[in-house]
Amino acid sequence: MNTQTTRRDFLSTTTALAGGSMLLASAGSARGQSPQPSATAARHPTLAQVDVLVVGGGPAGIGAALGAAHKGAKTLLIENHSFFGGVAAWSMGMQINQMRPAAKARSRIHELLIDKLKIYGDQAIRLGRHEIWCNVEYLKVAVLDALDDAGCRCMVHLRAADAIVENNRVTGVVVATKRGLMTILAKTVVDCTGDADVAYYAGAATLIEAEALMPMTLGWTLTNIDPAKVRPADIGKAMHQARGKYPLIPSGFIEVKQVANSTSWWINHAGTADLGRIDPTDVEQRTRAECFSRRQALQMIQALRDSDNPALRQLEWSGAGPQVSVR
């Protein structure tokens, strides 16, 4: 493979890419030297061979996999985490906007997932005019149900670590498993990693638009709050007021809303903005952001538990995302 191939050339001739991949733009910095596609891929055992391999089980990957499976392609969806949903699941129940613009169905896939969630009852989903709120634990199972219905195979705890390139085409990926490196071969590989990982491993030029990056945010939830005694605005206010004692509390926005129809609340916030711009593909920067975010969530909770408001002091920290969400 010619590693000088431009990303545009690469897209038209090799991998089919779904919504998660970064677009080539004039402003941006290279992600780094693209690695040479692995010359040793062939020596790893083959884990699976399919028509369509979708790498990354976030919103883009779920849609791509369901779409391909509905068309009758032998499809495999693989995911680095133990569940599907990507940022939509890591955000811990935050509203998902534009699922139904002006209350109108947006696509068959969106409706399919909404219908699956509705089956679980009103604790699982609340519909707004364009957005939905859902409990992410229900969402994770709803995705499995939809994949099963479509006859789409899936595998978790699989991280694509390299691309297999033959005759200028991506014909599979090398995955990292507990049993070592293995290969998955496919007629079509769809890169839905959110970060264009497969394209990057294949040697395509990729860019990071540092100026356009929004802050990464660790989603987290709290519970045991009496809505009759605490308004969401009180929660954000109490945190901002405690920044003197808890300096990791974000200086920017803090937003608090209900998780679907439950007594739990999710917190959206300016996240790592106070750290400056973080490149999520840089190991050192990413580690710093992940560690900072856990401490930041702790300080936000501590501020509330210290509050003068007895209703706030009773709250419990009920969960946090498996990793920071990269916007």
Among 14, 91, 188, 293, binds ligand FAD (CB under 6 A): 91
Q: Which is nearer to ligand FAD, 241 or 251 (CB)?
A: 251
Please give the single-letter amino acid code of residue 244: G
> Are 76 and 153 a contacting pair, CB within 8 Å?
yes
Q: Please give the residues from 99 up to 158 whose contact with ligand FAD meets the rule CB under 6 A.
A: none
Cβ–Cβ under 8 Å, residues 77 and 193:
no
Q: What is the C-alpha to C-alpha distance for residues 301 and 37, in angstroms, rounded to an integer?
A: 45
| In contact, 59 and 88? CB cutoff 8 Å | yes
- Residue whose CB is less far from ligand FAD, 96 or 230: 96
- Find the Cα–Cα–Cα–Cα dihedral 63, 68, 69, 72, rounded to 10°: 160
Taking CB under 6 A as the criterion, the residue among 37, 59, 93, 280 binding ligand FAD is 59
Q: Binding-site residue total for ligand FAD (CB under 6 A)?
A: 32
Residue 52 DSSP symbol: E
How many CB atoms lie under 10 A from the CB of residue 37?
18
Phi–psi pair at 222, nearest 5 degrees: -135, 160
Binds ligand FAD (CB under 6 A): choice among 268, 296, 299, 307: 268
Q: How far apart are CA 216 and CA 111, in angstroms?
A: 28
299 binds ligand FAD (CB under 6 A): no
Closer CB to ligand FAD, 257 or 295, in the complex: 257
Q: x/- site string to ligand FAD, residues 203 to 232, per CB under 6 A?
A: --------------x---------------
Q: Residue 301 CB, nearest distance to ligand FAD (Å)?
A: 18
**Secondary structure (DSSP) of 125-148:** EEE-SS-EEE-HHHHHHHHHHHHH
Using CB under 6 A as the binding rule, whether residue 37 contacts ligand FAD is answered as no
Q: Count of CB atoms within 10 A of residue 92's CB?
A: 24
Q: Confirm or reject binding of residue 61 to ligand FAD (CB under 6 A).
A: yes
Nearer to ligand FAD, 198 or 235 (CB): 198
| 286 is a contact residue toward ligand FAD (CB under 6 A) | no
Output 146 or 312, the one with its CB closest to ligand FAD. 146
Cβ-based nearer residue to ligand FAD, 22 or 242: 22
Q: Which residue, 134 or 304, is less far from ligand FAD as judged by CB?
A: 134
C-alpha–C-alpha distance, residues 120 and 124, integer Å: 6
- On whether the CB atoms of residues 285 and 294 are closer than 8 A, the answer is no
Compare residues 77 and 235 and give the one whose CB is closer to ligand FAD.
77
319 in contact with ligand FAD (CB under 6 A): no
Contact between 161 and 174 (Cβ < 8 Å) = yes
Q: Which of 238, 161, 244, 249 is nearest to 197 (CA)?
A: 161
Residue 20 in contact with ligand FAD, rule: CB under 6 A: yes
Chain residues that interact with ligand FAD, rule: CB under 6 A: 19-20, 55-61, 78-81, 86-88, 91, 94, 96-98, 159-160, 192-195, 197, 217, 268, 325, 327
